[in-house]
Each structure stands twice: as structure tokens, then as C-alpha cells.
Amino acid sequence: MFFAFGRFHKPGDFIAARLRTGNWLKAPGRNAYLALSGGNLENRPLQETDLIAIELLMDDAWQESAFGGYAAAEVKAEPDGFCHFRLDASQTAAELVVLAESGVSPSTYQSPVLKEALSDLLRERPDISRITLDAGPVTEADRQALAELDLQPGKNATWQVIYEGPQAEEELPPVQTEIVDLSENTAPASENQGATNWLELSVLAESEAVEAITELFGKYGYNQGVVIEEAVRPGPDGGAEIDPQALVTVRTYIADSPDARGGLSKLEEGLFYLGKLRHIEPLQVAERREEDWANAWKEFYQVHRVGRRTVIKPPWQEYERQPDDLVVEIDPGMAFGTGLHPTTRLCLQLMEDHLNPAEHPKVLDLGTGSGILAIAAGRMGIPYILGLDTDEVAIRAARQNVTLNGLDDQIEMATGSLAVEKGEGGFYSFPEEAQRPPEDLAAKLPFDAVIANIIARILIALAEPMAQALRPGGLLITSGIIGEKADEVAAALEKAGLELVEKREESDWVAFAHRRQ
């Protein structure tokens, strides 16, 4: 499967994939087809300068100004190959500039890594009309291999995209829509007090295709929402368990309109290219009424207990609060996933054990995101919490969640950071203006505690500003750290004058509690 860097929405996930791919490329004797400076692809051993250039290409692909990624059996597995395309300004033409693989292919054009990457590129970027593959003479076998992807030779080593729909591929399952009305009330929306109609899109697919389908559906679904339903079978003790061999159902929803129905062809085209790599059943499209659609989403979100006391619940879920519970209400909207990321869990657990209103009446939540950590601190009784984020969209969502929890008197949200990163692109590639500390931040210093669930690179860059923002003896909780970077983060925090109190780990993630000396 091909894991495109542009699909890693969380910086920590991208950094982990970047490290994994970089280490694979650095293996002794690794060869690659390269055209980093333009011209024909040249097959030669990778050099140190090539690796530096490729790291920059990975960043471009993550920011979606280019397209690239690695092929592997699963997202955390060692790569089988790496492929990167440079896109033109209009993002309608692509040029292959790097191709590396573990095995030996009959020719560059028949590389299985290239096939996966091309299929993913055509699916992710439906406006692509021309691809440059300048890898030498083309044999008849090469032509046939590329024709299977609906590419035909053009001029000057380019290949034209000639997608004609799935009906041209008899050996593959056809991707077609079947409109089925599943609502009990079939009267027009105008007769139902103006209620919105929705289209429920669903496919059955093998498990290896689910992640790619999720990304595709997320581009079209309302608020990028996707639901995954795994099949169950009777368990050994009379219960139920996930059936790993069964097909998985993937669903999303779009508002019903003539434009939406007309736009289904783009989604079908994406499924068609993905279907060349994995088994996917025909796309099903069902009509839903507003009330059915809303309830269908809510059944997938449940109450979560994190640590000993913290409980995360959506507003529509009933929950009988226990005496010591800290209940945090978060409206996930239409977004896939009901579980908390390990970095958030680690942060909440450290907060439970080390944060208290008597010692820490003033707290900074740096990189607040949805505001979940700030709200949890408010539930712990912290009198004042300031949440900062460089993303104005995140700040708006965080403010809504603060109001939902009735904590407007305790929590303030603002756009900004503790310092501006001078490097090209800045933190998360946000502009310098978004990174600047709020004008009134100086009046709020120092803080009794700082919570920062970000990524290792930014934690390292902000180690000194975070230490300076704390009073002597103040508490710092950091998370979002991939295991490979834990030592670097620890060293940066120690250099900034912070003393380690506790280190916690879950899966590949690490979190720290430090105290300013």
C-alpha cells in the first residue's frame, strides 16, 4: 500500500513516517532513480546531498505542494520503496523525480512501487492530466503496464491521463452507484419543513484498503467525517470479536443536491484507481433524512475514561458522574475516531498526578487544539488557564468547547505561541503573525504550569521559552513525542534548566513531567 505524506494530518505521525523513510533510504548501497535537478531519471547510489534534498521533498509532500510517500504493508512497517512527484503550479501536471525500491523490477515503468504511487496520485489528485516519466526507452511491456493505469504516451516523455471510467476494465469490480432510498418518509424536503436530505456513501473493502478509502471519503464527506464498521463474529466464550478476514464497511455523508450527485464521478474515479490495487465492492449511495443522518453519526461516539478521574463524553451521551470524576464534554462533530490519541491520554494522566489548583493556579496550554487539556485543567479546579494555538480554526473550535463546558470564566483562548520560529515555513508552516505571542502575554507571566502536547521538533525549539514562561518550581508537562526523539527533547529541556520528574510511554509515544529549577 502507498502511504502519501499528505495524508498524515498529525505532525507527530508525519515526523515518525519521515524518520522511518529516511532511515530506510540511508541503508548502505541503496540505489534510486533520481531527477532532482530535472532531466532524465538517473539510476545511481544515494549520496548524502541526495538525502538532504529528499528530506525537503518529504516536507513538500506533507504540505501538499508536491506528492510523495512510501510503499509498505502497513503504516508503521519498514518501507518497500519511496516515490516522489513534483507538481506544477496548477497541480495538473506531475513529474517523477525520485523512485527507490527494495526489489529489482523488469524496468522503471513496471516497478510495483511506481504503480502504487501512480494509482494513489491519480486517485488523490483527480485534476492531474499529464505525468512525466523520463526513465529511458519504453518497451511494449512498459506500455501495457502503464495502460492499466489509463496512461497513454504523450510528447516529450509525458504520459496522458485518459480515464474513461471503470466500465473499460472488465477484470476489475465495477465502481458504480446505486441510489437506494432508505428513509421511511419519501416526501420531498419542502414537504418536511425544509429538512436537509443527505446522501450516505458506503463501500465494502478489504481491510488493507480502508485507510486509503477513508482519506478519499474525507475529501468529500461533510466536515471530512468518515465511519468505519468492522465485521464481527461469535467469540470463543459466547461473545463477539472482530473478524479480520471479513470486508470492512466505510461510510461518509454529503448534502444531497444536483451538484453533489454530479460530483460523485470524482469520488468514483478515485475508487477506480484504488481498486486497481485492492479489492473494493461497488459504491452504494443511499438517501437519508436529516434526523436519520444525525442519529447515525451519534451512535459511533462513546464515553471514554482516561486515567483515574478524567471522563471524555460527547454532549448527546448520557453518563452518570461518579463523585471524583472530571467530566470533559467535547463535541467531535463529524470526524472519524472515537478513541483518544496516546499523546492526549499521556498528558491527561500526568495532569491528574501532578497538577493541582493549590500549587498551579495559573496554567498555559500551549498548542491547545480542541481545548481538551485546558478544559480538563478547568475541571480540576485551576482558576485561570490560557490556551494558545497558531491555528485560528483550532482556537474557534476550542472556544466553542469551553463554552459547552461552562468554563468561560476560567479559560481564555488566543492565537499565538511563545516565540516565532525563524526557520523557513515556521511552526506547522503557519505565518509569523500567527506565531507571535499575544500582546498581553507578558502581563500574565510567569505561569505555575505549562502543558504542551505538540511535536518533538517544536518542543525542542521552544524549550527555552517554555522554561522562561514558568516560575521557579513550576511544572511543565510535554507530550506528542515520538519515541525516537525522546532523548533529544529530554536533553533540550534539561539544557533549559528543567529537572525531570516523570517519564511515561504508550506505544511509540513518550510524555514528560519536568520542574523548573
pLDDT value for 333: 46
CA dihedral (309, 315, 319, 322) in degrees, to 10, reads 30
Neighbours of 243 (CB within 10 A): 13
Model pLDDT for residues 276-326, shown as the tens digit of each residue = 778 899 898 888 775 554 555 555 556 778 878 888 887 777 788 888 899
Which ranges of the chain have pLDDT less than 70? 12, 38, 162-196, 222-225, 230, 232-243, 263, 290-302, 331-341, 393, 420-432
| CA distances in angstroms from 199 to 23, 180, 182, 253, 314, listed in the order given | 44, 10, 10, 6, 24
CB 170 within 8 A of CB 148: no
Model pLDDT for residues 160-197, shown as the tens digit of each residue = 876 544 433 333 334 343 333 333 333 333 333 444 57
| 3-state SS, residue 377 | helix
Domains and CATH numbers, the chain: 2-163 (3.40.630), 179-298 (3.30.70.120), 304-322+338-516 (3.40.50.150)
User: Any idea what DSSP says for residue 187?
Assistant: S
Whose CA is closest to 289, among 154, 372, 417, 199? 199
